[in-house]
Structure 1
Amino acid sequence: MMSNHSSATEFCLLGFPGPQELHHILFAVFFLFYSVTVMGNTVIIVIICVDKRLHSPMYFFLAHLSALEMLTSVIVPVMLGGLLLPGMQTASLAACVTQLFLYLALGTTEFALLGVMAVDHYVAVCNPLRYNTLMNSHTCISVVIGSWVFGFLSEIWPVYATFQFTFCKSNVLDHFFCDRGQLLKLSCDDTVFTEFVLFLMAVFIIIGSLAPTIVSYTYIISTILTIPTASGRRKAFSPCASHFTFVVNGYGSCLFLFVKPKQTQAAEYNKIVSLLICVLTPLLNPFIFTLQNDKVKQALRDGVKSCCQLIKD
């Protein structure tokens, strides 16, 4: 620490460049995306809770994933506020700590849950006779709680280490939220070692949660290829298709954002990839899991019919 420098107690977020008219257009677009994200994931959670046909481990995990998608987008309201109001948006030090911690902790929890869902699909396809025994309610609740606990505990030190530095170069962040990479650029201290440790932790979390998915799908595909009929193979892989699509989209964005050396952390690059994570991925989740899942689509149709019947009565 450099004791002869005072650290910033609040930060100014530059947000997006361009005139206010462009900001209003972006606000309308992102607000629409955010509204669809919240409504779509809420619908998924409700139908999974209400429809008894969806009371199985796979949909139990899906409900938690949908909840995480809404919570992960905690950044979006802040971004929308910055687009709607003229000038730079300010955030206190406490607000930045809270925002960064929730963003990282919820994202890590989501990675852990995706790995759990991959293992669930593996058991369903490769060990169907033992599925109910292995994936019982106690196991499902335990692994979900474990995912949440791991996500929050694993990000305590990274966030603590980030805000131990003195931010004396400036208090202006070239981003639409308190991004860790941009925060470290404002420090007068030597951050090389801490950045390297944070990089290794990001690699461990992302690759560590991706490994069960890769192993599980290797066995799943090998098992499916042994099924003699095309319809049988399609039926066996159908429950896994939506999860696999989501994994490719989610991990692809995060690998570009977090697992990269310092010199590539350009502000505009970070903003674009952060938009994919905060806006696009949560938006796609409801469509991925409804358009590729026959049971969810049928539950939605039945739910719409019930609502229409209630309105008529």
Structure 2
Amino acid sequence: MVILTGLPLLIHFGIAYALVHWTALSFVGAPIAASITLWLSVLMMALYVTCAKKFKLTWEGFSLESFQYILTNLKLALPSAAMVCLEYWAFEILVLLAGLLQDSVTTTSLIAMCVNTEAICYMLAYGLSAAASTRVSNELGAGHPNRAKNAMAVSLKLSLLLGVTLVLVITFGHNIWAGFFSDSSTIIAEFASMTPLLAISIFIDSVQGVISGVARGCGWQHLAVYANLATFYIIGVPIACVLGFKTKLQAKGLWIGLICGLSCQAVTLFIITMRTKWDKLHLREDDNKENPVSV
């Protein structure tokens, strides 16, 4: 998976640079390059799954049998998608709101830089989140709730370490990082003033990302959807609007509102996790092996 996504990423740098700087497409070349790269990754993975001998041990190819489990998978897939989308959309809403502020060119650029920085840092935490989700679900499915709890504890400790590392990197290297986005001294200076707030949100996001993974592993997607909907759209975004438009904080106010939403989300999911009786999270002994039940 790393190789099949890493190679297209390396190719993407060349395609994006060529389309943006060497053609008349300009910024339109960026999404075209992203589309080309994503399809290249899909084709490489499809080729690997189809031709690799490892898959022949458990997979005999495409068949109509797979359609029998669509509804079962959708019961987990749709809430999982919703919990992720609700969080991502909250970040994108900030970019839209930034365009309504005074000096919208600067504020939009600044918020977009922060959102992209947050997204890049979150991808590192998302790796831990995926590992925690897989490990917790596997241990619960095997009837080992204590091991699932230990996996969650280890993942949280690693997320704290990762969060501190990312905060230190962005704190001491913010000028260099901002220079990758813009050569404007004004935007670089504004980004420096946003760095403390950005560092706080990155740290919180690193922790809550792992907790969200644990929630998926335990089958709590529906609870996470309600938590994300309430914390971001009833608490975070309204506070961002008030601080951004009714005070002189401007872009900082928008990001403070996001921090409030992230904090409430992390606390809510943490409380749900801590109050869980892990010894009761396992499959029943009378479950039909031919019709497995997700915890």
Per the TM superposition, whether the score is higher than 0.5 is: no
Structure 2-normalised TM-score?
Answer: 0.29
Structure 1-normalised TM-score?
Answer: 0.28
Q: Which has the higher helix share?
A: 2
Query: Using CA pairs below 8 Å that are at least 6 residues apart, which structure has the higher relative contact order?
Result: 1
